[in-house]
Amino acid sequence: MNFLKDAFKGSLTNILVVAGVAIAAPVVLPVVMSMARPLVKGVIKGGLALADKVQEMVAETGEQISDLMAEVRAERAATMKPTEKV
């Protein structure tokens, strides 16, 4: 009940705005949602494409680092003295 008391404490302008929004919402909201849906869908699609690309780049970078480590280990093993090998 405090909500109703607070709602009617405002000026007449505030009450009219709230009433107008309440009346217009069932008409305006479906139109806005139908327009926003393709936009939101596009944003999600773009985000998924970006995530896939980043995942691919991370995998390639990890593979390159692994290859470099193998090269360095091979070079290191080739330059070691026979007594240093374990």
**Residue range 8-67, pLDDT digits in tens:** 666 777 778 888 888 888 888 888 888 888 999 999 999 999 999 999 999 999 999 999
Q: Residue 86 falls within a domain, yes or no?
A: no
Q: Residue 63 falls within a domain, yes or no?
A: yes
Q: Residue 84 falls within a domain, yes or no?
A: no
Q: Give the number of domains in the chain.
A: 1
Q: Residue 31 falls within a domain, yes or no?
A: yes
DSSP letters for 2-69: HHHHHHHHS-HHHHHHHHHHHHHHHHHHHHHHHHHHHHHHHHHHHHHHHHHHHHHHHHHHHHHHHHHH
Q: Residue 85 falls within a domain, yes or no?
A: no
| Residues of the domain holding 29 | 2-79
Q: Residue 69 falls within a domain, yes or no?
A: yes
Q: Is the pTM of this model over 0.75?
A: no
